[in-house]
Amino acid sequence: MVQLSLEYLVRQPKVSHPKPPLLIMLHGYGSNEQDLFSFASELPDELLIISARAPLSLGFGSYAWYTIHFDAGSSDKFSDIPEAMASLKLIDRFIDEIVENFEIDSKNIFLLGFSQGTILSSAYAINHPHKVQHVVALSGYINEQLINGPLEKQAFKNLDFFVSHGSVDQVIPVEWARKTGPFLEKLNIPFTFQEYPVGHGVAPQNFFDLERWVRERCVTD
């Protein structure tokens, strides 16, 4: 396996194609690269799927992209911003390495994140809209402290989002996620926003909906 700057797991496409679409998975706080990868086999056969491990070890197989202040009570104090910015730089390097080392369609790249992984996936895509095209944002929110300005609407013409959240999420309040739509609307970024009657997790219907959304964008020439 090719050595990259982050530890990772890979699922090769089940359908042969010289330049397959790429889907990168970014897990949540306290998890690891195995978590989201557990449903890689259920995602479209055309995809090359790479699941990354966050750089900060919490011990016992748990990792984080940055420190979370669970008692903060507000979205603007929830995240350690310097650590999150450092992880965004790592993710940028990691994506560049993937593009250099794997045969992929660089015009059809997905970022799929959960929770902390969603916060970073969303910020990364908005900061680098020329590098990724699709974001699956599960149980997270947009942290504007991680967004680089100024934001020009024309830059986002090839970007779209699938956003979902549990309506009774006990970790990241759904009210934080509901601000995602208005933020994306201001930038003319198309999006789908769905709520499901669950906590901090992915309901079966949620997975069905996101899989369909991804499949519709997995077209290969």
Q: What is the 3 state secondary structure string of 67-132? A: CECCCCCCHHHCECHHHHHHHHHHHHHHHHHHHHHCCCCCCCEEEEEECHHHHHHHHHHHHCCCCC
pLDDT, residue 76, reads: 67
The model's pLDDT over 133-165, given as tens digits with 9 standing for 90+, comes to 999 999 999 999 999 988 999 999 999 999 999
Lookup result for tokens 């700057």: 5
- CB atoms inside a 10 Å sphere around CB 153: 10
Number of continuous H segments (helices) and E segments (strands) in the chain: 6, 9
- CB of 50 closer than 8 Å to CB of 10: yes
> Higher confidence at residue 220 or residue 91?
91
**In which band, very low, low, confident or very high, does the pLDDT at 78 lie, cut at 50, 70 and 90?**
confident
Provide the pLDDT for residue 1. Answer: 87
Average pLDDT of the segment spanning 196-203: 97
Q: Which two tokens stand for residue 128?
A: 């680098």
Q: Map residue 214 onto helix, strand or coil.
A: helix
pLDDT at residue 79, as a whole number: 86
- What would the mean pLDDT of 62-66 be, rounded to a whole number? 98
**pLDDT mean across residues, the chain:** 95
92-149 pLDDT, tens digit per residue, is 999 999 999 999 999 999 999 999 999 999 999 999 999 999 999 999 999 999 999 8
- Helix %, strand %, coil % of the chain (to 5): 35, 20, 45
Kindly state the percentage of the chain with pLDDT values over 70: 96
- Which two tokens mark 158? 């090839």
